[in-house]
Structure 1
Amino acid sequence: MTPERYAKIMRVLAQRQPTLSVLMDEVNKPHNFSAVLRTCDAVGVLRAHAVPPKSGSLPTYEATSGSAHKWVEVQTHKEIVGAVRQLQAAGFQVLATHLSEQSMDYRQPDYTRPTAVLLGAEKWGVSDEAARAADHNIVIPMLGMVQSLNVSVAAATILFEAQRQRLTAGMYAQPQLEAAELARLAFEWSYPELAPLYRERGERYPAMDAAGQIVRGDEL
């Protein structure tokens, strides 16, 4: 671990937004799934959520993600409405990308609130049941012949609006993570090969100094 690498890790973690997320419902194309994660990393999403495709496993595509899967945790859920309810119970507003009579322009919601953007599968989109369970339905205005965007493009469009609002509100100017979680993630990102060994042994992570070097005898 070099001091420069550690400084970058700490700079990125200091801007992570634990109250901004996406919920992907059976997004099954690896390049789309990975591109969404890449955008999540770019705007500071800490944790994404996903209901796996019916195949039972999450798609991955290293070339598209740009290794973003290393920096954005993905929490899986068994079914979409339950996932929506779980996020709402945690204080998130869930915004479903879905065209309905109640849909609003994607720029209208307040993204400085805890927010999860619900994205549907490529072929079917967000189900009517999930759209009803969401707090709001949002749409990206389309002026051409095509009625919808690729799911990863839609995710990027919406998430960068969320980033714009949060930058304006100063939410990237100070850490949003609790100190203990920030320290935990700093070790896991800095020493991805060592962290699993400590977890397997049930041991606490060692502390690190300002240059990212392990301090023997001290624990987080």
Structure 2
Amino acid sequence: MSPERFARINQMLDNRQPDLTLCLDQVHKTNNIAAVIRSADAVGVHQIHAVWPDIEMRVSGNTASGSQQWVKTIKHYHIDEAAAGFKAEGMQIIATNFSDEAVDFRDIDYTRPTAIILGHEKDGVSPEAIALADKQVIIPMVGMVQSLNVSVAAGLLLFEAERQRRAAGLYGSRKLDEAYCQTLLFEQGHPIYAKACRRKGIPYPHLDDQGQIVADKDWWDRMRAPVPETT
């Protein structure tokens, strides 16, 4: 791994916000999902959630521009499952919804642990998700239309959250588990060795503070040994 790539990945890890996430409530267009993931990566979201009854989801690689390898998508069959996880992590649940109860999206305190629910391209956030939300928000508009594309809405909310969090000094200090960081650094910095480890059932090695592999002779011997043929 080059020093430049090692430094870039570490910088990304130092700015990840594990207590800020999105939940896509039956959003089904692949280009929208990919665009949301791209915005999530841009503001340091560690992982997003997606609710879809048949659990089958595909991401448009061109639209995501590779962001899907940095932002994990957790899939759920039902919104109750996702919401229970958010509540267990102490997150406030914010749902986008055009209603009398909704407040301006900029009036929310996003420095708190937060999960933002965005809805289906046609029907919006489901009634079940709205019932589980702590607050509802709208994006004020002065034109003839009342809603934005879901990926555009996601971008606006995320960058407002990023603005508030940066002002509060929440970026720049690592909050992710070190074991996770080591795994990501190895897989993205040494992809050929990582693939060989998975194929041969070899544990990932530790990386030093320069991103280089730290392993004993036994590990290297196992790495160099041919994969046993199966019959």
**Normalization by structure 2: what TM-score?**
0.87
Q: Which runs of 4+ in 1 moved over 6 A?
A: none
Q: Report if the CA contact (8 A) 1:198-1:204 is conserved.
A: yes
SS, match of residue 216 in structure 2? strand
Letter in structure 1 aligned against 2:152 = V
2:11 aligned with 1:26: no
How many pairs were matched up? 218
Specify the alignment match of 2:35 in structure 1. Answer: 35
**Which entry has the higher C-alpha Rg, 1 or 2?**
2
User: Could you say if the C-alpha distance between residues 91 and 201 of structure 1 is closer, same or farther in structure 2, counting changes exceeding 3 Å?
Assistant: farther
Unpaired runs of 5+ residues, structure 1, are none
Per-residue CA distance 1:22-80 (angstroms, 9 max, x = gap): 0001111111000000000000000110013x554113111110111010000111111
Unpaired runs of 5+ residues, structure 2, are 220-231
2:152 aligned with 1:153: yes
Q: Report if the CA contact (8 A) 1:85-1:133 is conserved.
A: no
RMSD over aligned Cα, in angstroms? 1.9
Greater share of helix: 2
User: Could you say if the C-alpha distance between residues 196 and 134 of structure 1 is closer, same or farther in structure 2, counting changes exceeding 3 Å?
Assistant: farther
Letter in structure 2 aligned against 1:3 = P
Distance 1:23 1:106 in 2: 16
Shift of 1:206: 0.7
Task: Decide which moves more: 55-64 or 36-45.
Answer: 55-64
2:94 aligned with 1:81: no
Distance 2:194 2:142 in 1: 49
Aligned residues: percent identity? 45
Distance 2:192 2:130 in 1: 41
Specify the alignment match of 1:134 in structure 2. Answer: 133
Shift of 1:16: 0.6
Specify the alignment match of 2:165 in structure 1. Answer: 166
**Normalization by structure 1: what TM-score?**
0.92
For residues 51-200 of structure 1, the aligned pairs below 5 Å read: 51-52=51-52, 54=53, 56-195=55-194, 197-198=196-197
Letter in structure 2 aligned against 1:191 = H
Q: Report if the CA contact (8 A) 2:79-2:128 is conserved.
A: no
Q: Report if the CA contact (8 A) 2:55-2:76 is conserved.
A: no
